[in-house]
Structure 1
Amino acid sequence: MSSPRLPKRPDHPDLTAAGEEFFFPDVRTTVNLFAIHTRSVGRDWSYPPHEHPQYEINVVLTGEQIMVVDGRSYTQREGDLVLLRPGIVHSSHSSGEGFTYFCMHFDIDDKLFLSLLSRLEQVLFPAEGTVAGQMGPALSKLLDLSALEGMGAGGDSVAKRMRIQSAVFELFATLWEAVSSEAAHLPGRGYVQTELAHQIASRLQGRVNQPFGQVGSVEKQDGIEGISSELGISVSHCNRVFRSVFGVSPRVYLSGLVLHEAKLLLADPQWSVQQIADMLGYGDIAHFSRQFKRWSGQSPTSYRKSAMQESPSE
């Protein structure tokens, strides 16, 4: 039976027919979600001052609440969104009538996303504004999950948890898109340079992920020049911005990626050192050996022996 063929979109070429490949970016983001809930409260409800080590998203669904953040009072009406950074003291109470709200606490290890969030000084995003307006559909999708059978405290199936995570990632993506344009205008180095540095890092990773036999070539200066050209910046600016964020030059960062790939291959006994050199784009095994020893302090053969000794026996 032949494998199913995806329909061709008019705005995308048929990569299979063209014999080309497309590599999606690696995803290594970890997100922890805490106390996701909706709650309806009465006119006398209040929550005392507190803080927590996670970010918090709070949205009023119906009615109105008073949120006090670092001593400043905000009136949060239906559809208004509050974004709280970790460690911020805040409290809330009814404004005289009952209301319903949605709350979610989270932490995330994406440095670029954290850089953006940390630079936002705004706490309250009105319902009629860009941020809350664009996040509305993604938030509604997340809230709709609460209506599914078994999604309460006892609903712990893998499928249900995956649907929650999917909806939350969509919410984060929308949040990113909604606030990026605002954050880009903030003063200082943070967002603009951090985003550019991560774009450079993503392209370096993409070079390493390309087909075997081409990886070694990206170590050369034309690899950095190619990335600089793609981003419309000079090589010197590329190096300066990348070093300011990652602490090393793009070339050193790339060497670390290639070294990691080489170590993975050397740990697999089915490949000879010559084959690994060929796969990584070093047709000359002596060149590969010199590079590997310069990176790691060991020859490829010595590393392989030590790796085999450390591997647990079957």
Structure 2
Amino acid sequence: MNFESYDLTLNRSNYVRCELGWELPLLFSQKLDDYDLWMVWAGSGTMQLHDGNIELHPGMCIWMRPGGLYLSQQDNTNRLGVSAQHFDLINPSTGKRPRDKDLPPQVIHMPDIPAITGTMRTIARLNTVGQQARNKTSKQALASAQLLMRGLLMEVCYQAHVPKLHLSPTDHMHRSIITQLAADMTASPQDIDSIESLATDAGYSPAHFSRVFKHIMGISPQRHLMESRIHRARHLLIETDWSITRIAQVMGYNDVYFFSRQFKQITGQTPSSVR
């Protein structure tokens, strides 16, 4: 699909962990008047489409479109984490949306959950800033969000045409567990006590967990947790007036100097320079 032929408009953005009892009712489908790129980053559930039911798990991406059917329920013992980007694509020459046959399939599996999740969180944040204010900064935020969204849609289209791996039930189980844990680490790194406890809770020995995690994610769990903590710390430095010491402690660092060294290693900046 050639996105250059279409004007992109970002509408609502959302990034949430669904509440107990949450469901997506028929009214949602009936009122859907734009596209909604809907991706699961945590939890499990089911969704009913016109052509059947699908299981929801981390990495599932649904390109919802007007006229479709999207009824969803979650497993309340494993609540869904979802990012939703409402948007529109209009050809300025014709004033029309793309034909359905020119769009990718409605359901696409996105393999690199932490990267995609980070992009969608950034789009949601920038779009919120852009929609709520009317000044130069908000216009820049909205323009950045639109550029990121174009890149994300191109990645979705690419993944829709990449040959899929034929996994054994055991490999699929490992991939499902690890990708969800990676998403949880990205979303709430401050809640992870240690890689050892995470591995034990998931039913792995620490050594086996590290091997499986790196095989699936391409990065060690220790490195992924460190990067997730540092990226979250960077957001807190920008968005709050908390002291560097307090942010370090919230992210699980007892030594603020060690935190500062890791922060510079990951971001290329010192914590104080971010402010």
TM-score by length of 2: 0.44
Structure (1 or 2) with the larger CA radius of gyration: 1
TM-score by length of 1: 0.39
